[in-house]
Amino acid sequence: MNISRQVNLQPFNSLGIEVYADYFSQINNLQDLAAARCFCQQHGLPWLLIGGGSNLVLTDDFAGLVMLMAWQGRQLVTCAELHFPTQSAPHIGYWQVAAGENWDDFVAFSIEQQYFGLQNLSLIPGTVGAAPIQNIGAYGADIAQVLQEVQVYDFANDQVFYLTAADCQLAYRDSVFKRRTDWIVTQVTFALSCVPQVNVGYGDIAKHLQQVIKQAPDTASPQQVREAVIAIRQSKLPNPDDIPNVGSFFKNPIVTATQYRQLLQEWPQLVAYPQADGAYKLAAGWLIDQLGWKGHRANAVGVHENQALVLIREPHGTAGGKEIMQLAEAIKANVQQVFAVDLQVEPRVVGAQGKI
């Protein structure tokens, strides 16, 4: 494992924030992780693992070791080769994918190989390793529907173990990895269908497909669904290469049925989605938009003009993570004051010693 000193992290986070890591290394295998662990222990250093850097706000230079997950590899395995063997299903293929693989590249690859189930998750930024951590989801699909098992490295104890999908405790934008921060995802296995299947229940997908293929949306191919999702995402979310951002900055808040009804009386156009337990998930972007934040600019940061959930950094400005978080806190306080709703920040916020 090669370790570099004083590395600029600007290329490794989608906000393009210029902060420096005291030490930096790439992780290509388990041996690199074990070596990194020894290095941190010997020097008493904090550590930070990053993948695509698309869910990360860096507020300071990092006074420790930053590890870039660069582990590559994809392979189709049999039921017997799984760590938790399961009954063979003729229409299911199991793909083991290394954590450093680009997520959207793997989605495209899976469709090319005639394995389906990921097309609604197209163009989500980041790496495969981040998928179960975030329980990524979009357009009526999420990782929980196709996750088979996960290989994990315990950075605290130098141990490798496996988790089933149930062990990952997946929930809305949540998983066990948010609480067990020493657990590093190193490999993810997906159960994908060899039978073409499409999920077009999400309204935007159906509408787009009707306009493009000129026939019933449920007759679309998985590739056509992927293309629809890409087109929709590109129309709604700015490309970080052009406008630095981390995508949706806030989680959609969940409130009780009582609180939902109270809000609805004052805000009849309130956008909300009923949950299985009787609660309601509110559209955070709608709440922010009602308060006039869309298009706001100050101190070289702002809110995207087309999407109130996306906080941006001016591409050539000098603003950093602190300015982004000051804006986020102002929005949170405004939403709390007006709606009595607590917004939670979606990306990881990391300071000099680690997660804030």
Q: So which residues are the catalytic ones?
A: 173, 248, 346
Residues 6+ apart with CB under 8 A from 324: 15, 17, 57, 301, 311, 313
Q: Which pair of tokens denotes residue 173?
A: 């934008």
Beta strands, E only, 175-249: 183-193, 245-248
CB atoms within 10 A of CB 218: 11
Q: Which among 239, 200, 237 is positioned nearest to 219, based on CA atoms?
A: 200
Q: Within 63-152, where are the H helices?
A: 103-112, 130-134
Amino acid at 348: R
Q: Label the pairing between strands 47-50 and 62-69.
A: parallel
Decide: helix, strand or coil at residue 47: strand
Which of 342, 280, 331, 344 shows the shortest CA–CA distance to 302? 331
Question: How far is it, in rounded angstroms, from Cα 154 to Cα 35?
Answer: 13
Length of the chain as a residue count: 356
Question: Of 174, 175, 212, 193, whose CA–CA distance to 119 is shortest?
Answer: 193
> CA torsion sign, 84 to 85 to 88 to 92?
positive
Residue 144, SS3 per DSSP: helix
Distance from C-alpha of 84 to C-alpha of 164, rounded to nearest angstrom: 7
